[in-house]
Amino acid sequence: MLRGAALRVTAPRLAVLTAVHDHPHSDTDTILGFVRETRGGVSHQAVYDVLKALTTAGLIRRIQPMGSVALYETRVGDNHHHVVCRTCGVIADVDCAVGEAPCLTASDTNGFALDEAEVIYWGLCPECSKTAATQNK
């Protein structure tokens, strides 16, 4: 994947890419923790730099739901969306409703050539819904 994106294959890049793949929707600090478990002493700046390079190359996707830090995932190129729990912050992927990018049609493109739509659904995850229902009894 790295070579296909014209990036040199380095141990930090492999470690970050693996961490993001194995733990989608993780923030930089969480990714840093996983990378340090496998690689040892990797600096925060090195992880930031790798995340930026991988995002720029299109190998990972950066999302940032309202009120959240940047999160990363390796699921790219399919214009999927996300659902976020308002209580605990857990995030899950939601496939595109129509199936073609962009899966929403703008009422006015303002002359833009649209190629992607980003949607974030908000609500309560099953666990938080269960807790809320129990508290309301």
- Which secondary-structure segment (H or E) carries 129? helix 126-135
Percentage of the chain surpassing pLDDT 70?
Answer: 95
Residue 110 CA to residue 23 CA, distance in Å, equals 37
Residue 92 CA to residue 71 CA, distance in Å, equals 12
Answer whether residue 99 shows pLDDT above 70. Answer: no
Q: What is the DSSP secondary structure assignment for residue 95, as one 8-state letter? A: -
Task: Render 36-63 in DSSP notation, one character per residue.
Answer: HHHHSS--HHHHHHHHHHHHHTTSSEEE
Q: What is the pTM of this model?
A: 0.84
Answer whether residue 64 shows pLDDT above 60. Answer: yes
Q: What is the per-residue pLDDT for 127?
A: 93
Q: What is the per-residue pLDDT for 3?
A: 93
Residue 62 CA to residue 40 CA, distance in Å, equals 24
Lowest mean pLDDT among 29-43, 73-87, 95-109, 119-133: 95-109
Q: What is the per-residue pLDDT for 41?
A: 85
Q: Looking at residues 20-48, what average pLDDT do you find?
A: 94
Q: What is the per-residue pLDDT for 103?
A: 67
Find out whether 16 and 34 touch, Cβ atoms under 8 Å: no
Give phi and psi for 30, each to the nearest 5. Answer: -65, -45
Answer whether residue 86 shows pLDDT above 80. Answer: yes
Cα–Cα separations (whole angstroms), residue 86 to 6, 33, 122, 124: 39, 25, 6, 6
Average pLDDT, the chain: 90
